[in-house]
Structures are given as C-alpha cells and as structure tokens.
C-alpha cells in the first residue's frame, strides 16, 4: 500500500535559534537550495514511489514547522499531538491540531508530558519504539501506550547529536531495523536486539550523515545521499534505494524522516 505522508514546504525555514547541537544561527539556510532539496524529496515520494503527500500550510515565525514528523503521531484515526519541549516550537501544535481537525480526525489527544511526535515514536509491527530523554519525557511513553493500545518499548538516547529517536533508528521492514549503536544506552540496545530479528548497525559516518533519518516501506528506502555504507547494505539486501541530498535541513538537525509525518491508515 502506498504510504501517506504529511509535509510542509520550507518557505519560512531557517536557523533562527539553537535547540540542538547542529543548529548555529551563524550558519543560515540557503533558501533556494533548501527549496530544491525539499522538492526533490517531494518528487521522489509522489512521482517515483507513488506515495500520497498532503501538505500543511507553513507559518511565518515557525521555521521548524517544515519538520512535520514532530507534528504528531498518527495511527489509524488516532492522533497524539506533540507537546514540544522548547518554547520556540510550541506555537506549531495549534496549527497541526487544526490540520488534523479539518481532515476529519476526531480522536485527537495531547499527552501531559513532553512528546515530540513521530520524531520520538517509531512503529515497528505492533511495537512502538519510543525515545527519551532529550525531547520526550519517559512518562509520556506510558501515556502513549494507553492512548494507542500499543506496546511501547522505551529507548534511552545518550548522544545529544541524536536527540530524536528517528535520527538514530530506522524501521526498514517487519523483520529489520537499522540503528546507530553508540546513540543508545546498553540496556536499550539490548532491548531492540532481543525483539527485532535483524538489526543493521550504522557506521559513525552514516549516522553523522543522518542516514538513519530515512523512510522505508519495506521495499523502497529514501535516505540521505551521504550515507554511502547504508545505501550499499540496503542495495545488497535487494531494497530499492533512493538517495537524496538533505544538507540544508541537517543544518537544523533534520533530514528525510524529520520532513515527513506518516498518516497511517491502520496497524498491520
Ligand atoms: N530544528 C529542529 C529541532 O531541533 C529539527 C527537528 C528534527 N526532527 C526530527 N524528527 N528529528 O526541533
């Protein structure tokens, strides 16, 4: 089934504040290049892969709204809204909420603890891998478990450069995830290995190139073009790989996955 994705054009995207180690206000975005990179990703999804992309209107003064993965977690008709840690991003929530309301989602809820949407919550089969502590509080995981009725596996992130789970772990298919081992506590790493049959380990270079911030439907993988080792591993495994440049977004600590929120029909 083609994936359904929510994206937001980078019209107002820039580095206006610093809330992760990648962001430097002295290293601004090149708007034309960002626009081009975003459009390329949009075209891969829609033209090459036939995925369905919906758009949310960008808002001036909310430069990180382009990273729709943080706009919620959607499973079927249920939506968990984000509760952003940083004041700079808190204004985004109302816009995402309105978009979901207008699209007919009725079961919209917000946790009481900090939670940054799919950036920190990745669904693998019926297991929800949830990251903490940089942007999402661990008690939010129990709230998600209750709301979605999914079993949540909490994963502790230990490297500030990989502050959202989706920067350090990628779901590839129902038997496989890829991850950057050094971004996780030993216990958390063990937990993933005990549940997932195949765990692909990313090199330092691929992790720093944001190669884990990718999107896969189990057949096609869209990934940063600088993650050369992962690209060849995936190709050797028979996957259809679509490398694409995301350099302008990485200036903000974002990549392919951060730019995409999955609108999942149901849990398979
Ligand atoms: N500048 C944004 C922030 O720090 C980047 C968000 C990246 N999103 C993600 N899903 N990892 O919040």
Query: How much is the mean pLDDT over the chain?
Result: 97
Predicted confidence (pLDDT) per residue in 37-54, tens digit: 999 999 999 999 999 999
Q: Atom 1 of ligand 1 has which residue's CA nearest to it?
A: 252
Distance 253 CA to ligand 1 centre (A): 6
Is residue 8 part of the annotated active site? The answer reads no
Predicted confidence (pLDDT) per residue in 7-26, tens digit: 999 999 999 999 999 999 99
Distance 259 CA to ligand 1 centre (A): 9
In this prediction, residue 184 has a pLDDT band, given cuts at 50, 70 and 90, of very high
In this prediction, residue 167 has a pLDDT band, given cuts at 50, 70 and 90, of very high
Report the b/e string of 229-252 with b at 16+ CB within 10 A.
bbbebbeeeebebbbbebbbbbbb
Taking the alpha carbons of 162, 4, 245, 91 in that order, is the dihedral positive or negative?
negative
Q: Atom 7 of ligand 1 has which residue's CA nearest to it?
A: 254
Flag whether pLDDT at 268 surpasses 60.
no
Which residue carries 């995409």 as its tokens? Answer: 260
Q: Atom 6 of ligand 1 has which residue's CA nearest to it?
A: 254
The tally of domains found in the chain comes to: 1
CATH code of the domain containing 213? 3.75.10.10
If DSSP codes are grouped into helix, strand and coil, which group holds residue 169?
strand
What's the domain range around 250?
4-264
Ligand 1 site residues, Cβ closer than 6 angstroms: 19-20, 23, 64, 67, 69-70, 89, 119, 164, 166-167, 252-254, 258
* Amino acid 147: pLDDT: 98
Which residue carries 């991003």 as its tokens? Answer: 89
**Which residues make Cβ contacts (< 8 Å) with residue 209, sequence separation at least 6?**
224, 226, 227, 228
**Which residues make Cβ contacts (< 8 Å) with residue 17, sequence separation at least 6?**
23, 25, 86, 88
């Amino acid at each position: 089934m083609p994936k359904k994705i929510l994206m937001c054009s980078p019209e107002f995207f820039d580095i206006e504040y610093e809330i992760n180690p990648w962001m430097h206000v002295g290293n601004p975005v090149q708007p034309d290049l960002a626009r081009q990179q975003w459009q390329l990703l949009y075209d891969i999804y829609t033209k090459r892969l036939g995925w369905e992309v919906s758009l949310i209107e960008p808002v001036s003064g909310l430069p990180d709204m382009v990273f729709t993965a943080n706009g919620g977690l959607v499973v079927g008709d249920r939506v968990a809204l984000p509760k952003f840690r940083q004041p700079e991003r808190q204004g985004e929530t109302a816009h995402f909420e309105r978009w979901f309301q207008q699209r007919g989602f009725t079961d919209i809820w917000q946790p009481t603890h900090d939670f940054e949407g799919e950036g920190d919550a990745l669904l693998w089969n019926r297991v929800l891998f949830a990251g903490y502590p940089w942007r999402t509080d661990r008690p939010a995981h129990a709230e998600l478990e209750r709301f979605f009725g999914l079993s949540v596996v909490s994963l502790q992130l230990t490297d500030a450069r990989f502050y959202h789970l989706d920067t350090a772990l990628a779901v590839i298919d129902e038997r496989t995830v890829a991850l950057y081992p050094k971004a996780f506590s030993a216990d958390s790493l063990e937990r993933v290995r005990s549940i997932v049959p195949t765990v692909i380990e990313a090199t330092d270079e691929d992790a720093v190139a944001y190669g884990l911030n990718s999107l896969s439907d189990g057949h096609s993988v869209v990934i940063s073009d600088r993650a050369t080792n992962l690209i060849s591993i995936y190709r050797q495994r028979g996957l259809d790989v679509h490398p694409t440049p995301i350099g302008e977004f990485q200036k903000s600590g974002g990549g392919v996955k951060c730019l995409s929120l999955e609108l999942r029909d149901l849990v398979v």
